[in-house]
Structure 1
Amino acid sequence: MRIGILGAGNMAEALGGQWVRAGHDVLVGGRSPERTAALAARIGARAGTLGEAARYGEAALLALPYDSVVGVLDAAGDLRGRVLVDCTNAVGPDLALTTGPGPGAARRIAAATGARVVKAFNHVTPAVWSRTPPVFADGPLAVPLCGDDEDALALVARLAEDLGCAPLVVGPLERADLLEATTAFLIGMWHSGRDPRTLLPPPAALGG
């Protein structure tokens, strides 16, 4: 599969590197040609512009800080109908969502672009995505996916499987608002040194 990546930071390196190792053809586009070329060389991908990455192949990954998204999407050009994977987190320094009331980040991106947006890969750090594979004591890492287009969800599910993960479709794109809020909550717990897993009993203990 051909995959474009918008961004040249840690998420782009972690996910792009894994997809290159899985045999995909990856093109990285960034605002800095030098930084983009260096990343592409490290992971074995091609380097290009933001617009080239946005239009490259079957899907594009939006791997940027959320506060950079508007400017980058303007530079990327027309994304209508494209499969756009959103791994952004709109979380401020106070670990609260910066999107405020109303739609979350993924739905705002979909409305602004007309792309077939799938929210995915936002709930853990680049260090986890860099693991080969991201498998732990309880098995492969689950990757929650939210989207409104069945074909786009199936494509992103394959990309999750190529990382060695277990894709988990959790609902339409409006559910991404809940995933984004949950991720902000988890980030807050991790930053405080607490383990979120202690909040969750085994399913069999829930009853009903």
Structure 2
Amino acid sequence: MRISTLGTGNMAHALAAHWVRAGHEVTVGGRDEEKAARLAARIGAAGHGSLARAAGAGDVVLVALPYGVGERVVAALREPLAGKVLLDCCNPVGEGFRLLTEGGPAAARRIAAAAPGARVVKAFNLCHEDVWRLTPPVFDGRPLAVPLCADDDRALDLVRELVRDAGCVPLSAGGLDRAGLLEATAALVIRLWVGEGADAQAMLPPLAASGGAA
């Protein structure tokens, strides 16, 4: 599969490294092409260059840019991104762990509106980049589950493959209209983990008991 990154930061590094190891053809794209070249060399990517070059090179394009920035970049590149799968991993979480999209469209919906010819999938937004660097992210013998929100079945199939290539398990979470729930979940658990030092997993019962069974 041909995969590109829009961005050269920690999430682009962590996720693209998995996909290079899995044998995909990865192009790193950045606003700073020197940074793109350094990241490409570090992970063994097939190519690097500008954001525009990366947008044209990938069948799946990871939007690994801060909230708001990704929307503007995608809008400027809507023509080369037409028909592509856009994988949005951003978290619209601001100071005080506040959800920046509260009362408005989810970040993933804004990405979709900025590039109406593309197919957007929300994924990889619930964990710190250090978790995605693990090879693989397995805890107590259980691979990490990655919720996915999208409206396009073919796009979902491609991203499910990339989730498995990262050593994780894809979890269908509904259409893109539910992406805001994923983003709100991230705001909640980040506050619990980082702000309170709490074990967010402790608030969820095992699957066998989730329906009220003892």
TM-score > 0.5, shorter chain as reference:
yes
**Residues 88 and 108, structure 2, Cα contact 8 Å, conserved in 1:** yes
What is the CA–CA distance in structure 1 between the aligned matches of 2:69 and 2:114, rounded to whole Å? 14
Which sections of structure 2, spanning at least 5 residues, go unmatched? none
Counterpart of 1:102 in structure 2 is: 104
1:202 to 192, 195, 206: 206
**Residues 144 and 168, structure 1, Cα contact 8 Å, conserved in 2:** yes
| TM-score, with structure 1 as normaliser | 0.95
What is the CA–CA distance in structure 1 between the aligned matches of 2:192 and 2:167, rounded to whole Å? 26
What is the CA–CA distance in structure 2 between the aligned matches of 1:140 and 1:14, rounded to whole Å? 17
Judged with a 3 Å threshold, the aligned counterparts in structure 2 of structure 1 residues 123 and 105 are, in CA distance, closer, same or farther, namely same
The Cα shift of 1:67 comes to 3.0
What is the CA–CA distance in structure 1 between the aligned matches of 2:76 and 2:112, rounded to whole Å? 16
**Residues 120 and 145, structure 1, Cα contact 8 Å, conserved in 2:** yes
Count of residues in Structure 1 that have an aligned counterpart in Structure 2: 208
Q: Which runs of 4+ in 1 moved over 4 A?
A: none
Is structure 2 residue 154 aligned with structure 1 residue 158? no
What is the CA–CA distance in structure 2 between the aligned matches of 1:143 and 1:163, rounded to whole Å? 10
What is the CA–CA distance in structure 1 between the aligned matches of 2:139 and 2:171, rounded to whole Å? 17
Report 1:43-192 matches (<5 A): 43-45=43-45, 46-78=47-79, 79-114=81-116, 115-191=118-194, 192=196
The Cα shift of 1:149 comes to 0.2
Which sections of structure 1, spanning at least 5 residues, go unmatched? none
- Identical-residue share of aligned pairs (%): 57
| TM-score, with structure 2 as normaliser | 0.93
State the Cα deviation string for residues 68-121 of structure 1 (Å, max 9, x = none). Answer: 223322443422321100001111112111123131000111011111000011
Report 1:5-16 matches (<5 A): 5-16=5-16
Aligned-pair RMSD on alpha carbons? 1.3
What is the CA–CA distance in structure 1 between the aligned matches of 2:83 and 2:104, rounded to whole Å? 23
Residue 145 of structure 1: SS of its match in structure 2? strand
The Cα shift of 1:205 comes to 2.6
